[in-house]
A and B are shown apart, each in its own frame.
Chain A
Amino acid sequence: MTLGAGYHVNSNAPHEAYLIPLKLSWTAAPLDVAAVTYPKPTDETYPFSPDQPLSVYTGNFDIATKFKVPADATGGLMVLDGKLRYQACNNTMCFPPNTVEIKLPVEVR
């Protein structure tokens, strides 16, 4: 993911319950999702939250997904469907939560 300068998204584990976390989910059949690994977030202080640092991602970062192939899976080309939900802000305003659809082509051998 690449965020423009001045923007941040909440991490996958924000410090406060009312914040919308970053979340990557998959409909991966016939594969299984073994793990979704988020990068380590940073705690940042913003003018609108001077006393409470926010757990955020900024700049460039990757989210890694480990898929598992069941023993009885059929090989070949397939497309896995994913959804990435995020909510971004800058120093003075926030943008509505958004969900991006992901199409990941894979080949099972």
Chain B
Amino acid sequence: MYVARMSIAVAAILLVSAGCSSSPRTVRAASLRPAKERKKAPDFELKDANGQTVHLSDYRGKVVLLDFWATWCGPCKVEIPWFEEFERQNKDKGFAVIGVAMDDDGWDAVKPFAKERGINYRLVLGNDQVADLYGGLDALPTTLLIDRGGNIAAVHIGLSGKSEFEDGIQELLNAPSGISVPAVLVRAE
């Protein structure tokens, strides 16, 4: 009987397979896209912590901050207190935060984390399908600002600055709703 000692050297595969370049990616902090250039945010059907079904389309008419995150993502957790503040300050103005948790361990990981942090906005559990709808989600956090018409106004990949979100949210809240209402004809009596 003998013992063989093997060393393993795996060269430069990790970051290639993770889709990373050889230098750190910089955060893309996008300003709001002009209204005419915004594309519709893909609708989804996911479950929240209470087992209720959530559709993005349920939020039509509201400004939505849609945050893809995970409990294992350090940069994601920096942004959570900001989003809690945004929710608190703007929920009565037609605004909502939806946190889409991309944890493979599901609610077993997310619920204790959310309870510990006292997260005050709606959390849903993501899956591969919603990730595909939103371009594959190469990195977290990926955060979108969605206007009242359900269109993507901004995409932030990676840790962004708080003011970038704040400014975008206020601009969207102050913008005309852009939701057309059928004209009502009233016959004069």
**Chain A interface residues toward B at CB < 8 A:** 1-7, 9, 18-20, 24, 31, 34, 46-49, 54, 62-71, 82, 84, 86-98, 100, 102, 104, 106, 108
**Tier of interface size on chain B:** 35 or more
Cβ proximity bits B5-36 to A, threshold 8 Å, 1 near / 0 not:
11111111111011111111111000000000
CB distance from A68 to the nearest CB of B (A): 6
Q: Is the CB of B13 within 8 A of A100?
A: yes
Q: Is the CB of B77 within 8 A of A70?
A: no
Partner of A2, one of B11, B24, B104: B11
Q: Is the CB of A93 within 8 A of B158?
A: yes
Known: A64-B7, A94-B75. A70 touches B18 (CB 8 A): no
Q: Is the CB of A93 within 8 A of B14?
A: no
Prevailing SS type, chain B contact patch: loop
**Chain B interface residues toward A at CB < 8 A:** 1-15, 17-27, 70-78, 102, 104, 109, 113, 137-141, 157-159
Query: Cβ of A71: which chain B residues have Cβ within 8 Å of it?
Result: 1
The residue on A at minimum CB distance from B102 is A96
Instruction: Give the tally of cross-chain contacts (CB within 8 A).
Output: 141
Q: Is the CB of B14 within 8 A of A98?
A: yes
CA distance A102 to B10 in the complex (A): 9
- Could you list 15 A-B pairs, sorted by A, with CB under 8 Å? A1-B10, A4-B15, A9-B14, A18-B109, A47-B159, A49-B74, A67-B5, A68-B3, A92-B26, A94-B140, A95-B18, A95-B138, A96-B140, A98-B14, A104-B6
CB distance from A70 to the nearest CB of B (A): 7
The residue on A at minimum CB distance from B12 is A2
CB distance from B138 to the nearest CB of A (A): 7
The residue on B at minimum CB distance from A72 is B1
The residue on B at minimum CB distance from A94 is B73
Q: Is the CB of A100 within 8 A of B72?
A: no
The residue on B at minimum CB distance from A107 is B4
CA distance A32 to B55 in the complex (A): 50
Nearest 7 interchain pairs by C-beta: A6-B24, A93-B158, A92-B158, A94-B73, A93-B139, A92-B159, A48-B74
Query: Cβ of B20: which chain A residues have Cβ within 8 Å of it?
Result: 4, 7, 88, 90, 95
Residue among B18, B24, B27 with the highest chain A CB neighbour number at 10 A: B18
Q: Is the CB of B4 within 8 A of A67?
A: yes
CA distance A2 to B20 in the complex (A): 13
Known: A92-B27, A93-B75, A98-B17. A66 touches B139 (CB 8 A): no
CA distance A21 to B14 in the complex (A): 14
